[in-house]
Structure 1
Amino acid sequence: MTPLVANRAAALALLGDPIRRALYRLAAEGDLTRDGASAALGIPRSTAAVNLDRLTDAGLLVAEFRRLTGRSGPGAGRPAKVYRVATTELVASIPERHYELAAELLAAALERAERDRMPVREAVAEEAFATGAAVGGGHDTLEDALDACGYAPAAGGEGDLVLENCPFHQLATRHTPLVCGANVELVRGLAAATGDDREPVLAPREGRCCVEIRARKDAAEQRRSARYPAQ
């Protein structure tokens, strides 16, 4: 996996945290200080500082020290650390889309196919799984990882998950076999990295992502047995 895709995956993992996501959105609205972030979100200043610096280390924000009074010299006060967004490409859309992630994934797959002399679709599948694993490694649960990627997971029956949103909707509409194949491999990577034993499968349905996550049959049977014990 290329560094560009790895950086994108790390950014998605970071923004999966609600506090960091809120801080990023505040910084997108204008210069943000630690005190301002603390007041806006009602969190301790130390918490704001740690998370702002993590976003800066990931390249999502840039920081500089500046005297906010506009004065200099003795009595002007200490400079404050001011944060602003490093790029506008990660500002969320509604419904949430991540076309830049798809572009990076497909470009990396083409490079892999040429380098390793392998079929393009096989390279796409491998890059998609690796990207999902990189994103999933930053989350405790599959649901959190899916939410960070914009899939909007919702509970189905018997432990299943349906994905209410496709983050690659337009691409999936125009290039369905290629993009949906990448989609299911990316979700499989998320599941593997979060240790979730449910199975992502292709299950196209109008108005939703083409992928669903199905509980293994044995696990579903155990839940039914617990709910309706034999008389």
Structure 2
Amino acid sequence: MAADPAIRAIAALDDELRRGMYEFIRDARRPVTRDEAAAAVGISRKLAAFHLDKLVAAGVLHATFQRATGLRRVGRAPKVYEPTGGDIRVSLPPRQYDLLAGILLDAVLAAGADEGARDAAVRTARERGHEIGADHRRRTRPGRLGAERALTIATGLLESHGFAPARDSPRCVRLRNCPFHPLAERAPDTVCAINHAFLDGLLDGLDARSVTARLAPQAGECCVRLTATT
């Protein structure tokens, strides 16, 4: 199984020299040459090249060949490095606070005049789940989904969102992780309602009519299970 990209990035930055060069390049806010990176941490250019290439392979830095402004075009342009710009986050077990934050922000922006905050959040969660399911259906064109196929597709989508799905039986998927924990501990009714609406919307977007998202709270797990209907 391939390592998570974020874990590879964190592992690459566990070296003090690499971390020092990464911080120097990030703070420079411009392309940095190997010589500059080497000087920043006090090592040779050759050793710096080795560590910089490790950071590129881990997805932490991006490398190009670029000549400094004002220099004569003689010889090959030097290799320069910049941060890739992406966030590096590792959470074990997985958390998806950005998903919940996006749902809540959209709910605030789109709430109707006569709509309460909780109702707006639940509605927005269902819409977000529907978008994810419908987008997958457009891209893959799975055709009419029976219960088995629908549960398989939903399992893959929910795995990527940190729900840690597990097939309890051929007709039931248990979600072993709540990606919004520990916020769910602070407001379980609200977060579970958002979770339920999100998963219900995802199934609707997939047009998975043979599968139902139902509330089935259990300690240490997501409050929702997916069950094939009879």
User: Which TM-score bucket, shorter chain as reference?
Assistant: 0.5 to 0.7
Amino acid at match of 2:131: A
Question: Partner residue of 1:194?
Answer: 206
Q: Does 1:207 align with 2:220?
A: yes
Structure 2: where are the runs of 5+ without partners? 14-21, 23-52, 141-152
Contact 1:143 1:153 in 2 (8 A): yes
> Structure 1 residues 26, 130: CA separation in 2 closer, same or farther (over 3 Å shift)?
same
> Structure 1 residues 22, 93: CA separation in 2 closer, same or farther (over 3 Å shift)?
closer
Give the TM-score, by structure 1 length. Answer: 0.60
Alpha-carbon distance between aligned partners in 2 of 1:77 and 1:63, rounded to the nearest angstrom: 16
Which of the pair is proportionally richer in helix? 1
Superposition RMSD in Å: 3.6
> Structure 1 residues 25, 72: CA separation in 2 closer, same or farther (over 3 Å shift)?
farther
Alpha-carbon distance between aligned partners in 2 of 1:169 and 1:75, rounded to the nearest angstrom: 56
Deviation digits for residues 195-221 of structure 1, max 9, x if unmatched? 33310011001121100001102xxxx
Q: Does 1:127 align with 2:124?
A: yes
Deviation digits for residues 74-120 of structure 1, max 9, x if unmatched? 332576786613334xx23000011222122123213322x443122
Question: Partner residue of 2:109?
Answer: 111
Contact 1:62 1:86 in 2 (8 A): no
Give the share of equivalent positions with the same residue, in percent: 26
Query: What does 1:33-182 align with in structure 2 at a 5 Å threshold?
Result: 65-67=64-66, 73-77=73-77, 84-88=84-88, 91-113=89-111, 115-139=112-136, 141-182=153-194
Give the TM-score, by structure 2 length. Answer: 0.60
SS at match of 1:156: strand
Alpha-carbon distance between aligned partners in 2 of 1:77 and 1:177, rounded to the nearest angstrom: 59
SS at match of 1:169: coil
SS at match of 2:183: helix
> Structure 1 residues 85, 138: CA separation in 2 closer, same or farther (over 3 Å shift)?
farther
Structure 1: where are the runs of 5+ without partners? 1-17, 42-51, 53-60, 218-231
Alpha-carbon distance between aligned partners in 2 of 1:137 and 1:173, rounded to the nearest angstrom: 30
Moved over 4 A (4+): 21-31, 61-64, 77-83
Alpha-carbon distance between aligned partners in 2 of 1:132 and 1:96, rounded to the nearest angstrom: 18
Structure number with greater Rg is 2
Alpha-carbon distance between aligned partners in 2 of 1:210 and 1:124, rounded to the nearest angstrom: 17
> Structure 1 residues 136, 79: CA separation in 2 closer, same or farther (over 3 Å shift)?
farther
Deviation digits for residues 12-55 of structure 1, max 9, x if unmatched? xxxxxx98x95565566578xxxx79x969xxxxxxxxxx9xxx
